[in-house]
Structure 1
């Protein structure tokens, strides 16, 4: 019977990773999808990617020079396209900006493939949905829809898995003709949909309310990932940083109520301050473009309050990378690679509970189509 040939092995699927960065998506998806091609333009991130995954299939260079007809047929194409023009910290040029506009190169490459993947994922910051009243997302949604996909966006915050606040939008597209199992969709917004997503979704054609089970509560806290023996700032620098903390927050350390808290330097009412959070999670990692983008730790260690920057290994832990994940290069190289990456536990959860199930359905649909085509060409024996 045909059903005996249907694909059920969850480790046999393949994918292309565009804007691959340091390779955390490849790491996260490895139990379900095998990367057969990956690309990034950043040489320093490429060094980290190849140190962990090898350079057999990695292609360093500008996506503008990639030709879709040179790429292998795969089940999934993943693109964590640049976020700078969609980020609240950026210039808000939007999805047609010079950097975030690279998403159109991704679609151009897919158009050039002889057989587009049945399943697509595009990942970016919340501004993709929330900025410009959702119009940036609407443009991307329509671009995917006219290419024959039904599409939905979800928000996953890394804080559900690791002690870092990192909300990200995942746009998931499946070829329109493929039926989606009931368990993977809802008739209305779920825990995966913010108010901004819900507001945009109800206005769009070929929209899908994706659904997955709610993950268990996170057990780890920021204090669990700290390298306690890492050197702190010299006394003069620590004292300067501590002077930027308001008295009420500083008292939490002096009384022993708090032993570690993360924070960013900001300017408030013309005055520089070090703003801390006390919920046991780090703020969203950023790339180290300047002093305000560097996340500090304030630590009460052995009765002394000191400050320092996050270590590179701590940033990797906050992204869910294993201790064995190699981070060659300078401090800034490693910090940038992690600050630009996709949280590994988030991608792993998405792959396990949604993407691989969609890939199975898509694969079976293709096999059924091939079977019916062959059966239609057979002549009856008389």
Structure 2
């Protein structure tokens, strides 16, 4: 039997059916002999992408004695530790990094001006005409800046009409599998009186998941976006494994020194 099992899901699992689905997951882990701890980790602590995800960690030989840090164990998860009918443990953890407030502009691909992926003037005009007054004001302010920045935008449906919404920070929205317009993010470069727009590239998808330098040759953009859009963020999972799983495995193996992620 594996010493550890880890389940990743959207954070809505914690609250669906008033927490009943989450309870079923914990009970299923318990029925297999695993004690459970659960965490909410946002990839934004390591990468310029807002991507909160829920992780359920089951261990046969857990290390207990931690405290309920609300930064990674909000109330919708931490209640399991006060339910005596469930077998759980509170993992001692290192400090979790603060949420990033910038960084997308620095990793956005800088394509040549004649790259065919840039939208033409007509398409940009339709983008701009769909913006609400607040969105248009935000865009004009960034456009007039002396510094060029990149912002991501999603297409939404408001009152039955498709509109574009521009993020107000230097962080990408949550990546999704690239099916349908609302799942794809456009990248908008604004500054020095100019605007340029294109779809997010596959390489940017990879970087936003922490897969820098990943070999993408031979794959279509849609394949890359689909794969990374439904993946897990590398540094978030690395932190989880080094902090909540590996120490328990080392302890079980008889190592005196327990190494936590920094």
Shift of the alpha carbon at 1:345?
0.7
| Contact 1:161-1:345 at 8 Å conserved across structures | yes
Q: Secondary structure at the match of 1:357?
A: helix
Q: In structure 2, what is the equivalent of residue 133 of structure 1?
A: 18
Q: Which runs of 5+ in 2 are unaligned?
A: 256-262
| Contact 2:41-2:55 at 8 Å conserved across structures | yes
Q: In structure 2, what is the equivalent of residue 180 of structure 1?
A: 63
Q: Structure 1: how far apart are the matches of 2:57 and 2:248?
A: 10
Q: In structure 2, what is the equivalent of residue 62 of structure 1?
A: none
Q: Secondary structure at the match of 2:25?
A: helix
| Contact 1:154-1:210 at 8 Å conserved across structures | no
Higher Rg of the two aligned structures: 1
1:275 equivalent in alignment to 2:165? yes
Q: In structure 2, what is the equivalent of residue 255 of structure 1?
A: 144
Shift of the alpha carbon at 1:140?
1.1
Q: Secondary structure at the match of 2:50?
A: coil
1:120 equivalent in alignment to 2:5? yes
Q: Secondary structure at the match of 1:209?
A: coil
| Contact 2:175-2:205 at 8 Å conserved across structures | yes
Q: In structure 2, what is the equivalent of residue 229 of structure 1?
A: 111
Residues 1:220 and 1:260: Cα distance change in structure 2 (over 3 Å): closer
Q: Which runs of 5+ in 1 are unaligned?
A: 1-115, 366-382
| Contact 1:261-1:276 at 8 Å conserved across structures | yes
User: More deviation in 351-360 or 328-337?
Assistant: 351-360
Shift of the alpha carbon at 1:300?
1.8
Q: Secondary structure at the match of 1:361?
A: helix
Residues 1:249 and 1:137: Cα distance change in structure 2 (over 3 Å): same
Q: In structure 1, what is the equivalent of residue 177 of structure 2?
A: 287
Q: Secondary structure at the match of 1:210?
A: coil
Q: Secondary structure at the match of 1:281?
A: coil
| Contact 1:152-1:210 at 8 Å conserved across structures | yes
Q: Structure 1: how far apart are the matches of 2:174 and 2:62?
A: 37
Q: Structure 1: how far apart are the matches of 2:9 and 2:24?
A: 14
Give the number of aligned pairs: 245
CA deviation digits over 1:181-214, x for unaligned, max 9? 54xx22x344211231124543351122334222
Shift of the alpha carbon at 1:321?
0.6
Residues 1:202 and 1:244: Cα distance change in structure 2 (over 3 Å): farther
Q: In structure 2, what is the equivalent of residue 210 of structure 1?
A: 91
Shift of the alpha carbon at 1:233?
1.0
| Contact 2:151-2:167 at 8 Å conserved across structures | yes
Residues 1:219 and 1:284: Cα distance change in structure 2 (over 3 Å): closer
Alpha-carbon RMSD: 2.2
Q: In structure 1, what is the equivalent of residue 201 of structure 2?
A: 311
Q: TM-score, normalised by structure 2?
A: 0.85
Q: In structure 1, what is the equivalent of residue 242 of structure 2?
A: 352
CA deviation digits over 1:59-97, x for unaligned, max 9? xxxxxxxxxxxxxxxxxxxxxxxxxxxxxxxxxxxxxxx
Q: TM-score, normalised by structure 1?
A: 0.60
Shift of the alpha carbon at 1:306?
2.1
